């Protein structure tokens, strides 16, 4: 403490410790919060095709097309320890070969300050809904779920599942693919 | 020219150093508490950090330069003794004892 540099050093070190304590306080005030909100998913159109999957098995695989609506109010999730939300819509189903299949159909990043009212109509899936075989045709129980990753300023990265699922059934017959 | 610069006192005495430490700790802690409460009420952690940094800057201004406030308790040095051959061995120890006051 007798020179400018040693004072600057102890000041800086003390400030960093206090900053760490503040960050921990920010984490602890939000650590036990429930970040689940109700989500309303509605499926407007379902279609299935049987096409060549060049990435998977060398056979024709089922490719599903789902058009859906999502509405949710994400405002309660945001607080001072949330930087962004990573929303993703998954389809879960079981086939003969796999007890649990999970396919991400769509995702979106919602930054702090963005519009938190999610109101989407007739959205097409962002990613291909490929099954690794022919498990989609006439599958009666495919569950769509909206989940999100909460990206915080400090602390854990929770994975939250929205409450509100949508179960849908795929048709029995393939859409004949004229051109794709 | 150099002698002008050398005549500017730049040191802090012991009590001044203690005072400087207490001042910067107090300023930073108070700004941290204010920032935490303000940031929590408006739910913006960025403001907590900014207020904390403001406290850091204020305490830098207050305690980094050796202000005259930190030089109010100068050490009372013993007056220079005339050099005598016999007493030279005892005197340095006495000097050390007298220096130890904070």
Does the interface ipTM go beyond 0.90?
no
At residue B11 the predicted structure's pLDDT band, cuts being 50, 70 and 90, is confident
Question: B70 to chain A: nearest residue by CA?
Answer: A2
Per-residue pLDDT of A122-150, as tens digits, reads 999 999 998 888 888 888 899 999 999 99
How far apart are the CA of B80 and the nearest CA of chain A, in angstroms? 25
Neighbour tally for A114: CB within 10 Å: 13
Give the dihedral of Cα atoms B59, B65, B70, B71; nearest 10 deg.
180
In A, minimum Cα distance to B71 occurs at A2
Beta strands per DSSP E along A74-158: 82-93, 101-111, 117-124, 129-130, 142-152
pLDDT category, B30, cuts 50, 70, 90? Answer: very high
Cα–Cα nearest to A7, from B69, B60, B54: B60
Contact yes or no for B52 and A22 at CB 8 A: yes
Is A21 part of the contact surface with chain B (CB cutoff 8 Å)? yes
Chain A contact probe: residue of B41, B45, B69 with most A CBs at under 10 A? B45
Inspect the interface and report whether the beta carbons of A79 and B32 lie closer than 8 Å: no
**Taking phi first (over 0 means left), then psi (-120 to 50 degrees means alpha), and beta for anything else, what does residue A95 get?**
beta
A/B interface, count of CB pairs below 8 Å: 62
Q: Residues of B with CB below 8 A from A16's CB? A: none
Domains of chain B, by residue range, sit at: 34-68
pLDDT tens track for A38-92: 999 999 989 898 888 777 667 788 889 999 999 999 999 999 999 999 999 999 9
Contact B36 A25 (CB under 8 A): yes
């Amino acid at each position: 403490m007798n020179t400018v540099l040693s004072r600057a050093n102890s000041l800086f070190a003390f400030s960093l410790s206090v900053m760490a304590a503040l960050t921990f306080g920010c984490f602890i005030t939000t650590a036990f919060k429930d970040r689940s909100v109700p989500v309303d998913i509605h499926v407007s159109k379902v279609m299935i095709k049987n096409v060549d999957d060049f990435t998977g098995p060398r056979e024709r695989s089922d490719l599903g097309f789902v058009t859906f609506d999502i509405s949710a109010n994400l405002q309660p999730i945001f607080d001072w320890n949330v930087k962004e939300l990573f929303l993703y819509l998954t389809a879960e189903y079981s086939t003969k070969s796999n007890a649990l299949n999970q396919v991400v159909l769509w995702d979106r990043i919602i930054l702090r300050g963005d519009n938190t009212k999610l109101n989407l109509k007739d959205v097409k899936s962002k990613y291909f809904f490929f099954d690794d075989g022919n498990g989609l045709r006439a599958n009666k129980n495919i569950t769509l779920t909206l989940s999100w990753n909460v990206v915080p300023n400090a602390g854990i990265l929770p994975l939250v599942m929205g409450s509100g699922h949508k179960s849908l059934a795929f048709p029995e017959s393939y859409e004949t693919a004229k051109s794709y | 020219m150099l002698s002008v610069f050398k005549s500017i006192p730049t040191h802090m005495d012991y009590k001044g150093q203690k005072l400087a430490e207490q001042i910067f700790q107090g300023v930073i802690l108070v700004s941290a508490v204010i920032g935490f409460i303000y940031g929590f009420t408006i739910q913006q952690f960025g403001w907590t950090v900014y207020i904390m940094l403001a406290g850091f800057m204020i305490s830098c201004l207050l305690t980094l330069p050796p202000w005259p406030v930190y030089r109010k308790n100068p050490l009372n040095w013993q007056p220079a003794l005339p050099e005598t051959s016999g007493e030279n061995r005892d005197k340095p120890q006495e000097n050390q004892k007298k220096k130890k006051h904070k």
